[in-house]
Amino acid sequence: MDVPSYVIALAQARFDDALAIVRETNPFPSICGRVCHHPCEDACSRALVDRPIAIEWLKRFVGQYEQSNGFSVEVPERTKEQKVAIVGSGPAGLTAAHDLANMGYEVKVYEALPVAGGMLAAGIPEFMLPSDVVEKEIDYIRGLGVDIKTNIRIGTDLTMDDLWGQGHKAVLLSTGAWRSPKLDIPGADLKGIHPALSFLRDARIADKIRLKGTVAVIGGGNVALDAARTALRLGADKVFLACLESRDTMPSYEWEILGAENEGVEMCPSLAPQRFVSHVLNKVSGIDFKKVASTSKDDAGRMQWELAKGPDTDVHRAVATVIVAIGQVPDPSFVDGLDLGANGTFTVDTTSLATNVPGVFAAGDAVQVPGSIVGAIAEGHTAARSIDCYLSGNDPKDLEPEPLKEVYRLDDDIEIPDFLAKKDRWDMPSLTPKDAVRSFSESELGYTEQQVIEEAKRCMNCRMCANCLFGRGQVCLETSSRLLATE
């Protein structure tokens, strides 16, 4: 994505231009503006002065600007005879559908859930990503002529043979990773213990359950944090999160941890569950833990840990409900004949995303877990190019990868000129934690138009020049001083 260009456009209040630049590569601006892990901000040179540009939140404004002012969708002409089937309507599948439709193909998407969007619609909590935002983004893709069929599970309602029989000449498998591994300790089958992904799905698209008493969440990743914050909103009196890792090495993003802590989730790191306890009616009532001395990962990336020894290493917590969030894996059981990885992922050629079966491709979390939304979008683009190559009679493995846009990153040891005055970025307007946990309303409220312009003006436009930072030319220095100085 051409981040500098759309940020500069926003600084000049050219909102339509910013939208056009974002949509060149990203079919989900409103979604990514809310829940992307924004690796672009790690590369932002403004961090050498104060803090990175709020690139994610600026993108959110761009997407909201589009949704508030109505979509303008030009239906592409169907110029290709072949039909393409996509199994799964998450970000990878919908991105591929978006691209293939624009290439002129007839595209049909099959989704097992009653709503389209995959993890976007049924895995990320409503207070982080509202349903109407997801629906509008998907409506844009439908407007391109993409046919999205919900409540159809491939392997049950239709088979892969059915897809070929309907005339599809290529199939993309983008079914995500919806299975939650079971915690293999005594008492794991007690009532009141829930897999995190099904818990989040039911809280999002089914009748909302009500919780009471103390809820324990087992796991230290982003899904665990989402489950903990959701449990608070479902009425839990208290929520604590226990994980093997120390507080500093938890795999979830720091802002997710802080968000949960601010809302009242108790963090209990360096604890390993040993058994679930029941006192009545075969329902969980407590958890026995042991303190963890250290953690590491083996060559395959699997978590290893060493239990602490000696007195005071046993911990017992009373609970009413447990949510287990110790990872996620795909379910490839609906298709036969494809090579699989150790954890059930589809094995693909890393360049083309082609499987070992001609005409079958795979992308997203079904290929690599854990993934990210932007990673899934990138793979959706790749899958569409590969499918187009295959249907054109060529070998997709011969495709050259798309060239990456140049990223200009200043060195950390650059001496920052005095005229680059510090001006911290705007914080995200948000509900107070006390108000946020009272409902599933979106907790972050978004920038105003003026905040967007002022935040975008913090951009140093270093891609265009940056000569002043290297001392090359007095004229350049004087010009940059006028352009970059913060008012």
Summarize pLDDT for 73-87 with one digit per residue, the tens.
Answer: 888 999 999 999 999
CA–CA distance, 222 with 319 (Å, rounded to integer) = 22
Fold match, 83-178+329-394 / 193-324: yes
**Collapsing DSSP states into helix, strand and coil, what is residue 313?**
coil
| Residue 442 identity (one-letter amino acid) | E
Instruction: Report domain extents, the chain.
Output: 3-72+405-484, 83-178+329-394, 193-324
Which pLDDT score is estimated for 181? 87
**Collapsing DSSP states into helix, strand and coil, what is residue 203?**
helix
Q: Which class is 193-324 in CATH?
A: alpha beta
CB 399 within 8 Å of CB 386: yes
331's CB contacts (< 8 A; 6+ apart) are: 175, 178, 179, 344
Write a three-state SS string for 130-182.
Answer: CHHHHHHHHHHHHHCCCEEECCCCECCCECHHHHHHCCEEEEEECCCCCECCC
∠ CA(435), CA(437), CA(442), 5° rounding? 80
Torsion angle, alpha carbons of 267, 273, 275, 281, to 10 = 30
Sheet harboring 266-268: ordered strands across? Answer: 193-195, 321-324, 214-218, 238-242, 266-268
Torsion angle, alpha carbons of 118, 120, 125, 131, to 10 = -100
CA–CA distance, 131 with 434 (Å, rounded to integer) = 22
Structure tokens at 158: 């239709």
CA–CA distance, 254 with 315 (Å, rounded to integer) = 26
DSSP code for 473: -
CB 71 within 8 Å of CB 143: yes
Which pLDDT score is estimated for 410? 67
Instruction: Please report the DSSP string for 377-442 in residue order.
Output: HHHHHHHHHHHHHHHTTS-GGGPPPPPPPP-----TTPPPPTTS---PPPPPPB--HHHHTTSSS-
Global pTM value: 0.90
CB 378 within 8 Å of CB 185: no
CB atoms under 10 Å from CB of 232, counted, come to: 21
H helix and E strand count, the chain:
16, 14
Instruction: Please report the DSSP string for 29-64 in residue order.
Output: HHHHHHH---GGGGG-GGGGTSS---HHHHHHHHHH
**Collapsing DSSP states into helix, strand and coil, what is residue 316?**
strand
CA–CA distance, 369 with 354 (Å, rounded to integer) = 17
- Listed in sequence order, the DSSP H helices in 234-372 are 254-263
Taken in order 183, 188, 194, 198, the sign of the CA dihedral is: positive
The residues pairing with 86 across neighbouring beta strands, listed in sequence order, are 109, 172
Place of tokens 């005055």: 421
CB 58 within 8 Å of CB 38: no
- Residue in 137, 116, 138, 133 with CA at minimum distance from that of residue 205: 116
- In tens, the pLDDT along 321-363 reads 999 999 889 999 999 999 999 889 999 999 999 999 999 999 9
Which residues in the chain land under pLDDT 70?
405-412, 464-487
359-to-109, 160, 400, 402, 486 alpha-carbon distances in Å: 16, 12, 19, 21, 54
213-to-192, 239, 285, 321 alpha-carbon distances in Å: 12, 9, 10, 8
CATH number of 83-178+329-394: 3.50.50.60
